[in-house]
């Protein structure tokens, strides 16, 4: 299970490299360079140094006592990825890909972004490493996340609003790929999730697995055993795979990915790729996909711009089919309620994405006993979402 992908970039039937021929050599080169550098002690040291001294790792595994009491019996821990520099787990991957870009001699980087977290992380790393940075962002998302757009500009990045298709994350991804096809010789594409063509799903997972590696070490230190359940939100799936991967072989640990049900999985407005999707090829790989019977990709909907994506990582698709990870949907309203709950019990404003995982804990709490230990991956902080929550609730906080 942990040996995948195979040499063709496949996780079972999922993954692969479905891209225009123009990009094939760039992807092969990226894979070779990644493989070479991932065994280079200097490369590993540089990343480890930046994660510690620049981003502030390791992030705490915090026992949320008041939340635990409020919900019932189990002990609930929060993996505080929200305390990273730039406010989310996205920086783990952006630092590593930025360092890789620089070592490969590419002076220009591009990225796609939905909520803006990956865009901000990439813009930050580009500023730190002296790289030129362009970020593609759906026009709709630039409106929902104006603060992040401004942050990226302050950091020196150029933000390119994407006006094709549904003007959200999937279209930003398409446009980033189109730009890369045109500028592949001098540009490094910093892809933000465990999606896209091989080697990205593998590489991004390996750059994010630090979340799960730390969690494992921390829970063993505090509790002397592994947790019963781990919850993580999932759009493309990078924080979730980063958290889950080091636990895949521990069969006693239940792993639950929480996806966005928007207004409900039985409406036309959701991003529940695992609950409602079918196998398809999208943005370079085979995975579960929201699509119609003719293979046209459908638009996703979620209050959380980071989960608003009709695809999902190929490795998650595989983990669903072999039933190692369970994937469940949470609606906009359930996520908002959980966000409010965490604010009031713990004084933590989580990102809307992360609030989906908290909501699943609320749902499951009555089934847990006092011996149970639960970990929620709090993938990001909610400062970026305050405006859109105000708009959604009309400014009412009760």
Catalytic residues: 90, 112, 379
Instruction: Tell which one of 21, 42, 370, 371 touches other proteins (CB under 8 A).
Output: 21
Residue among 98 and 313 whose Cβ is closer to other proteins: 313
For other proteins, which is the closer residue by CB, 184 or 248? 184
Q: Least CB distance from residue 259 to other proteins, whole Å?
A: 20
Question: Which residues, 6 or more positions from 81, have their beta carbon under 8 angstroms from its beta carbon?
Answer: 59, 88, 89, 211, 239, 377, 378, 379, 380
∠ at Cα 232 (226, 235), nearest 5°?
A: 150
Sheet holding 254-262, edge to edge: 61-63, 75-80, 373-378, 229-233, 254-262, 325-331
Separation CA 66–CA 77 (nearest Å)? 11
72 vs 165, which CB is nearer to other proteins?
Answer: 165
Q: DSSP string of 78-138?
A: EEEGGGSGGGBTHHHHHHHHHHHHHHTT--EEEEEESSSHHHHHHHHHHHHHT-EEEEEEE
CB of 177 to other proteins, least distance (A): 5
3-state secondary structure of 56: coil
Give whichever of 9 and 98 is closer to other proteins, judged by the CB atom. 9
End-to-end CA distance of the chain, in Å? 45
The site that binds other proteins (CB under 8 A) totals a number of residues, namely 37
In the three-class reduction of DSSP (H, G, I as helix; E, B as strand; rest coil), residue 264 is classed as: coil
Q: CA separation (Å) from 301 to 40, 166, 253?
A: 42, 10, 31
Minimal distance in Å, beta carbon 188 to other proteins?
15
Q: How near is the Cβ of 282 to other proteins at its closest, in Å?
A: 7
**Span of 12-20, 236-244, 300-308, 314-322 interacting with other proteins by CB under 8 A:** 12-20
Q: Is 294 in the site for other proteins (CB under 8 A)?
A: yes
Residue 279: other Cβ atoms inside 10 A: 13
Query: Could you say which residues in the range 361-390 bind other proteins, by CB under 8 A?
Result: none
CA pseudo-torsion sign 344, 348, 352, 354: negative
105 near other proteins, rule: CB under 8 A:
no
Residue at token pair 């019996």:
73
- Region near other proteins per CB under 8 A, out of 20-28, 69-77, 87-95, 255-263: 20-28
Q: Does 12 bind other proteins (CB under 8 A)?
A: no
Which among 80-88, 126-134, 253-261, 273-281 is the span making contact with other proteins, rule CB under 8 A? 273-281
Nearer to other proteins, 242 or 313 (CB): 313
Buried b (16+ CB within 10 A) or exposed e, 280-312: bbbbbbbbbbbbeeeeebbbbbbbbbbbbbbbb
Query: Rounded to whole angstroms, how far apart are CA atoms 257 and 247?
Result: 13
The structure tokens listed for 363 are 């749902």
Q: Which is closer to other proteins, CB of 270 or CB of 381?
A: 270
What ranges in the chain are assigned the alpha helix state H?
Answer: 21-37, 41-49, 65-71, 90-103, 117-129, 139-144, 146-154, 169-182, 200-208, 210-223, 238-244, 273-276, 314-321, 332-346, 352-364, 386-393
> Interface residues for other proteins in 299-358 (CB under 8 A)?
none
| Residue 32 near other proteins by CB under 8 A | no
Q: Determine if 293 is a binding residue for other proteins (CB under 8 A).
A: yes
- Give me the half-sphere count of Cα atoms (radius 13 Å) on the Cβ side of residue 266: 0
Regarding 193 and contact with other proteins (CB under 8 A), the answer is no
Q: Does 201 bind other proteins (CB under 8 A)?
A: no
User: Smallest distance from the beta carbon of 59 to other proteins, in angstroms?
Assistant: 35
**Site for other proteins contains 60 (CB under 8 A):** no
Q: What is the nearest approach in angstroms of other proteins to the Cβ of residue 195? A: 13
Annotate each residue in 153-192 with x if it binds other proteins (CB under 8 A) or - if it does not, as one string: -----------xx----x---x--xx--xxxxx-------
Count of alpha carbons within 13 Å of 311, Cβ hemisphere only? 30
Which x/- pattern, by CB under 8 A, does the window 226-265 give for other proteins?
Answer: ----------------------------------------
For other proteins, give the closer residue by CB, 298 or 388: 298
Closer to other proteins by CB, 18 or 269: give it: 18
Q: Which residues bind other proteins (CB under 8 A)?
A: 8, 16-26, 164-165, 170, 174, 177-178, 181-185, 279-284, 289, 291, 293-298
């Amino acid at each position: 299970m942990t040996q995948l992908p195979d040499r063709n970039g496949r996780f079972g039937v999922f993954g692969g490299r479905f891209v225009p021929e123009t990009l094939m050599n760039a992807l092969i080169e990226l894979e070779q360079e990644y493989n070479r550098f991932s065994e280079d002690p200097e490369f590993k040291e540089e990343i480890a140094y930046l994660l510690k001294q620049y981003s502030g790792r390791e992030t705490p595994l915090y026992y949320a006592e008041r939340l635990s009491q409020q919900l019932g019996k189990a002990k609930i821990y929060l993996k505080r990825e929200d305390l990273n520099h730039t406010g989310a787990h996205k920086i783990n991957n952006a630092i590593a890909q930025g360092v890789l870009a620089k070592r490969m001699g590419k002076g220009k980087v591009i990225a796609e972004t939905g909520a803006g977290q990956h865009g901000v992380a990439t813009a930050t790393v580009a500023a730190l490493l002296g790289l030129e940075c362009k970020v593609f962002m759906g026009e709709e998302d630039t409106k929902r996340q104006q603060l992040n757009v401004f942050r990226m500009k302050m950091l020196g990045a150029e933000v390119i609003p994407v006006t094709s298709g549904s003007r959200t994350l999937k279209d930003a991804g398409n446009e980033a790929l189109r730009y890369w096809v045109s500028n592949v010789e001098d540009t490094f594409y910093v892809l933000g999730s465990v999606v896209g063509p091989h080697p990205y799903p593998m590489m991004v997972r390996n750059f994010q697995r630090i979340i799960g590696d730390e969690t494992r070490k921390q829970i063993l230190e505090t509790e002397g055993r592994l947790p019963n359940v781990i919850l993580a939100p999932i759009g493309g799936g990078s924080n979730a795979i980063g958290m889950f991967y080091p636990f895949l072989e521990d069969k006693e640990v239940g792993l639950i990915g929480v996806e966005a049900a928007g207004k409900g999985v039985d409406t036309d407005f959701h991003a529940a790729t695992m609950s409602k999707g079918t196998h398809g090829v999208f943005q370079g790989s085979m995975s579960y996909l929201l699509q119609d019977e003719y293979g046209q990709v459908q638009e996703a909907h979620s209050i959380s711009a980071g989960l608003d994506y009709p695809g999902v990582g190929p490795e998650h698709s595989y983990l669903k089919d072999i039933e190692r990870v369970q994937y469940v949907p949470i609606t906009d309203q359930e996520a908002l309620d959980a966000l409010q709950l965490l604010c009031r019990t713990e004084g933590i404003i989580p990102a809307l994405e992360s609030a989906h995982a908290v909501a699943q804990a609320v749902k499951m709490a009555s089934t847990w006993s006092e011996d149970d230990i639960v970990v929620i991956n709090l993938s990001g902080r909610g400062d970026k979402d305050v405006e859109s929550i105000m708009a959604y609730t009309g400014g009412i906080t009760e």
